Amino acid sequence: MSKDKDRAIVVKRSAPRKSGHHGGAWKLAYADFMTAMMAFFLLMWLLSSASTTQLRGIAEYFNQPLKVSLLGGDRSAEDSSILKGGGRDISTDQQGITRQSDGSMARAEKTAAHNDDDAANQTQGSLERREQVRLHDLQVKLMAAIEANPVLRQFKQQIRIDSTLTGLRIEIVDSQKRPMFATARDIVEPYMRDILREIGKTLNDVPNRIVVQGHTDAVQYAGGEKGYSNWELSADRANASRRELISGGMDEAKVLRVLGLASTQNLNKADPLDPENRRISIIVLNRKSEEALMRDDTTTTTLSSDAAGSAKQPLLEKISQPVTVAPRTAPAAATQ
C-alpha cells in the first residue's frame, strides 16, 4: 500500500485540435470595394464642384489624346486639349520651341476644316430657308392684295404667281378680251397699270432684286425680223412695265434685268399664236440666282490682235452695259 501511495500520478491532457486557417481573401475584396467607393465619391464631388469650362476641357482631353493613343501617332505638344503634353524640342536650342506631331496635327486640321464646312453648310441652309419663307410671305401678301382690291380682283385670272428655281415668278397674262397693252405698242392699259403699281408697292417688302421679262406671241410684223419686230416690242413692253412698278413705289435699284424675249418662251407651246403667250414676267430672284447674274456682270473677255495673245491693244471687249433700243413706228400685226 505504501508503494502505491508513493507512486506518482501522471495525468495526460491532450491539447485542443487547431482548425485550419480560413484565409483573408474577403478582407482584400472588402478593402478594394471601400477603395472603389471612396474613389467614386471623390469623382462625384469633383464633378459637382467643377465649372462648365473645366468639364469641357476634361471631355476634350479624352477626345484627343486617347484617340491618338488608340489609333496610333505621335503625341502633340500643340494640342487643343487643356492638358498639354510633350516638351522642348531637343533638336533646336531655341527657347519655347516644342515638338509638333505630324499625324495628330494633320488630323486635327482636317477635323477643324470639316467642322468649318459643316458650319458653312448649316449657315447657307438656314439662309435659304429664311429666304424661302420670305418669298412665300410675299406670295401670300400679293394674293391678299389682289383679293382686297376690287379693281384687281376681277383680273385675278390673268395673274399667276408660282415658285421656280430662280425665285418667285409673277406673270400677268394677256387675254383676247383684256389686252395688257395697246395693239402692237408698248402703251400700258389702265387695268395693267393698276396691277403693276400694286405689285411694285409690295415688292419693297423683300430685299431681293427682280428681273422683268416681256413676251409676245408668234405673230410677226409686216417687215419681219429686219425692222421693228417682236424683239423690240417685247423689250419695250418690259421696260414700260418697269416704269409702272417704280411709279407704284418700288425702289428703282431693285431692277437687275429688263429683257425682251419675243416668242422664244411661249406659255402655250402647242399654239404659238395663243394670246396667253403675250405676257409680262416679274421674277423675284433668290440669292443664288442673283449672285449668278452678278458674276456674269463682272466677267469680261478680251481678244488680242494676234494669235499668240500678246499684250496689244484689244480688238473686242465684252461689256455688260444695257443696250437701249428706241421704239419706232412700224406696221404691225393686229393681234400683238
Looking at the predicted structure, is the pLDDT value of residue 258 above 90?
A: yes
- Model confidence at 112, pLDDT cuts 50, 70, 90, reads low
More confident residue, 265 or 152: 265
Looking at the predicted structure, is the pLDDT value of residue 334 above 80?
A: no
Instruction: Give the CATH fold of the 138-305 domain.
Output: 60s Ribosomal Protein L30; Chain: A; (3.30.1330)
pLDDT reported for residue 297: 65
Looking at the predicted structure, is the pLDDT value of residue 43 above 80?
A: yes
Mean pLDDT of the chain: 75
Least Cα distance to 130 among 208, 218, 73 occurs for 208
- Model confidence at 236, pLDDT cuts 50, 70, 90, reads very high
pTM of the predicted protein model: 0.53
Q: How do the domains of the chain map onto residue ranges? A: 138-305
